[in-house]
Chains A and B, each alone.
Chain A
Amino acid sequence: MPVDQAALDAVALSRDEYDLLLQQLGREPNEVELGMFGSLWSEHCGYKNSKPLLRLFPSGGDHILTQVGAENAGAIDIGDGLCAVMKVESHNHPSAVEPYQGAATGVGGIVRDIFAMGAYPIALLDSLRFGSFGDQQTQFLFNGVVGGIGWYGNCLGIPTVGGEVAFSEAYTGNPLVNAMCLGIAETKKLLSAKATGARNVFLLVGSDTGRDGIHGASGLASRTDPEARFEEMRPAVQVGNPFMEKLLMEACYELASEHGGWVAGLQDLGAAGLTSSVVECCAKGRSGAILNLDRVPRREPGMTAYEIMLSESQERMLVIAKREHVDDVTALFQRWELHCEPIGEVTGGHEVVIFDSGVEVARVPVEIATEPPLYRRQGVRPAELAERNAFDLASLADIAATDALPTLLRLLASPNIASKRGVYRTYDHQVLNGTVTPPGGDAAVVRVAGTGRGLALTTDCNARLCYLDPYAGGAAAVAEAARNVVCTGATPVAITDCLNFGNPEKLEVAYQLEQCIRGIAEACLQFDTPVVSGNVSLYNESRGRAIYPTPVIGMLGILDDVSRHLIAGFPAADRQVYLLGGLVEQETGALSGSEYLEVVHQRVAGLPSVDLVAERRLQRVVLQAHREGLLASAHDCSDGGLAVALAECAILGGHGFHGEAAVSGRLDAALFGEAQGRIIVALAAHADADRLVTLAGELSVPCTRIGVTAAGESFSFDSISTDVGTLRKAYEALV
């Protein structure tokens, strides 16, 4: 059967890739096989453009229990025989096409990755990017995405404890929807996504298989759409059923926590459905499979083998049951009122052989299917950066003292900085009785039931910095995540990452990808936070323009005593406030890539810099000071700079502030510059301020007393004089 270009386009394979496949296979693939290879060799499943670069990440460590990519998510030892299991994943393309279901099924997918490991999911975070705030299309996408996340997560009963929402023209037509989930398991009860043990049985549980989501992996997520045909691809978006997922989650957790010995492995069905699920767990288990498609429960008659193998119908799991416990496992799922069908067996061979109505319809060698060609491109620094990096920030007029307050209010009300309470109050962030620090602060804090411990969780990425300097931006994303974790009093331990980029076949995008990865890798080494899991989403473009490079970092930190966590807001009146890690006075370079520069001067320019050594020292000082009981609150200086951060401390804590610093240099840089690596702390009652100064001095960390918290509403800092109510009104502009 000669294969024409249209057939290859349908499965997103290039002619060269097809020729390579012919050579490896030694024959022409049939239609079913071609669909399966196309999906497995897609960027989404095969990571063919990113795998060589991902090897740059530091990944192991004493407390890391999994190898990256070997399982559905990464597991980290958190003591007491427990582990945290986490991962972040994108659902950008489906959300661009159908925001509500796209975002909802993104949540569903990441949650399945976590309970496939045998963990119980206890927290969700969502990192979202949309086009310009005022834009009508942005409003449509925003409402759909937020609605879909809330619907799915709320129905599941997993709290959404944090995340980010940012807006920029760069995401017009291509929003980013990254969902992170964290679960807890007893380490010895972790399950693996491996198909092992010949004659063990593949049980397909959960929803019936329908015609939805076919070509989601190869068609939607692995190429760009130059002719804006995404509209036509709406049927490639899956439709979610969170109620079904809730039952699946409870049943799988019962299976893992009480009857782990009944199964050889557990795997979710995500991108490329049954194809990737079966082939990948055979690859991990060094085994093969025989499948009988007649046993797959279907939503409608007349489905072809091709459709069944590539359907991305949601809420399905694949259990590899030990053959002597098939009846036990089936009874367990039936008790949860779920379908459970044996669809095949593990074999000792290295092929997945598929039968439909007794006829062999596909024979796929596991090794070929899971080893797509890898591409490593020598990137080129985007030409437009030279001008932006060289822009003379000092040529901009400084703000007048009288403009300081209006500018602060304008920044507080800017959609990127303003309170996201209007979003997170539509998410259940309390269920499971573990949320100690709800959304709205730096990192969320959840407690680990049955222990005194807490976990700090955050997602961060300043994409403007990544655009202006991908290396510094990648490093800064990790540094900021670590800083947010440290601001709760927790020690950073690991990250998961979601790399959102444009079309990697463009050399400028290849450059951004490589440089961001190098920056992240360097920062992870510096902070001793290995990468335990992650996801790559490429081809994020609309109308030929790539998004900002956006490597979202999800970080986990551990608090030994959750009752001793720090909060972001000022805790009480008459507490001394210090700025650690940098000075109030800043050069104009601090305005590089700042929110101020974009909001006030409509510019994205400058050359951001990050000092990882200084950042690490800062974080050590804050953690030591907290250990010694010196601190009551800590808040990181990031978007909007020092003035915005101080205002947030006052708003969140409900206490006033009187600043004592007087700026003599550039007022805009001091108030709104975004110099990295700075944390505002308020001291605990009766804390010894000299001890903090000594601790900082020992590690050469700048430490400046900048004021004192006040009873009542009054707020003053340098030329700004106002009250907390006025600040709050601006900050709650979007609520």
Chain B
Amino acid sequence: MRLQRSADGLRAVRDCAPCTGYHTIMRFAIVRFPGTWSDRDTYHALHDVLGHEAEIIWHRTTDLARFDAVVLPGGFSYGDYLRSGAIARFSPVMEAVVDFAEAGKPVIGICNGFQILCESGLLPGALIRNESLQFRCEWGFLRRDGGATPWADGIAPGEVLRIPISHGEGNYQADADTLAMLESEGRVIFHYCDARGDATPASNPNGSVNNIAGIINPRGNVLGMMPHPERAPEELLGGTDGNRIWQSVIASRLTIIG
């Protein structure tokens, strides 16, 4: 363990197996809304597997200053009553999340978190019921596309990740102008695809337009995605591809020392 002086104070630094060399330990905020259930899994992936600091914070928190990145995890905030994410967007923490995002710091919304980001206007479009009208929990493939974002810069364009989905309302929809803008500006970061990387109708688990699985804001620091990277942290659970997303954002803050 070594210490490093940086702009925001002293930080512990240590050798971290999944990354190469030394780096700053990041501090993630994992927001727990009433009804959130991926909070513990996200904590497990970030803290237990990758060795970073993570804190599960209650949705009434309004101060995010001590965090380097914010995760809005999956679940059924407020039971998905009214509409997924529609009530959670009014939680006290959301004002702070918007400020955090506007300051250019990394924010990710996964599953219900993606729905909340859309409801709060940080991302365009909406997530409606799966085309099958059924909940789906299964492994699937994602292709890295689009432009720069700290959440996926460590993943080569065209690379295919294997990550599970688990949702009943993950069918991404937006109007034609928005879609054209998202694709042309390189803001679609993940498309559902098959094992070879082809975005076929059969590989689309929920009917999302253009097989869209994840998108970013214009600045690239806010990512919303339906699949669950925190569920693919270890071989024992079926795969480690989810770590690629966390490692990307960690690498974006990498400070090589010594």
Contacts and interface: CB of A to CB of B under 8 A. Distances in A.
Interface of A: 150-151, 154-157, 241-244, 246-247, 336-337, 424-433, 435-436, 447, 449, 562-563
Contacts of B81: 243
B79 A242 contact: yes
Interface in B201-258: 228, 230-231, 233, 236-237
A462 B136 CA distance: 29
Interface in B149-208: 164, 166, 168
Contacts of B41: 431-433
Nearest to B76: A155
Nearest to B137: A428
Interface in B132-160: 134-138
A433 B231 contact: yes
B75 interface: yes
A425 B237 contact: no
Most chain B C-beta atoms within 10 Å of own C-beta, residue among A243, A433, A563 = A433
Given A425-B136, A447-B236, A246 B44 contact: no
B35 A243 contact: yes
A426 B236 contact: no
A447 B41 CA distance: 13
A246 B231 contact: no
B78 interface: yes
Given A155-B76, A433-B44, A562-B236, A426 B136 contact: yes
Contact of B230 (A433, A436, A563): A433
Contact of B40 (A247, A430, A432, A435): A432
B53 interface: no
12 contacts: A154-B137, A155-B35, A156-B37, A242-B79, A243-B79, A247-B35, A425-B136, A427-B135, A427-B137, A431-B231, A432-B37, A447-B236
B33 to A, nearest CB: 11
Nearest to A433: B41
B131 interface: no
A337 B34 contact: yes
B40 A433 contact: yes
Nearest to B230: A433
Interface in B52-82: 75-76, 78-81
B38 interface: yes
Contacts of A429: 137
Given A425-B138, A426-B135, A431 B38 contact: yes
B183 to A, nearest CB: 29
Most chain A C-beta atoms within 10 Å of own C-beta, residue among B78, B81, B137 = B137
A157 B33 CA distance: 13
A433 B79 contact: no
A433 B34 contact: no
B168 A154 contact: yes
Interface string B85-121: 0000000000000000000000000000000000000
B195 to A, nearest CB: 13
Nearest to A337: B34
A151 B134 CA distance: 10
Contact of A430 (B78, B137, B236): B137
Contacts of B34: 243, 246-247, 336-337
Given A242-B76, A243-B79, A243-B81, A430 B164 contact: yes
A425 B75 CA distance: 17
A206 to B, nearest CB: 13
A337 B44 CA distance: 26
Interface in B25-59: 34-35, 37-38, 40-41, 44-45
Given A243-B35, A433-B237, A428 B166 contact: yes
A563 B166 contact: no
A155 to B, nearest CB: 4
Given A150-B135, A425-B136, A430 B76 contact: no
Contacts of A426: 134-137
Nearest to A449: B44
Contacts of B75: 157
Q: Which 9 A-B pairs have CB atoms at the shortest separation, nearest pair first?
A: A157-B37, A243-B79, A155-B76, A433-B41, A426-B135, A428-B137, A428-B166, A426-B134, A425-B138
Most chain B C-beta atoms within 10 Å of own C-beta, residue among A337, A424, A426, A428 = A428
Contacts of B35: 155, 243, 246-247
Contact of B233 (A151, A431, A433): A433
A174 to B, nearest CB: 26
A243 B112 CA distance: 14
A431 B37 contact: yes
A96 to B, nearest CB: 23
Most chain B C-beta atoms within 10 Å of own C-beta, residue among A155, A157, A336, A563 = A157
Contacts of B79: 155, 241-244, 246
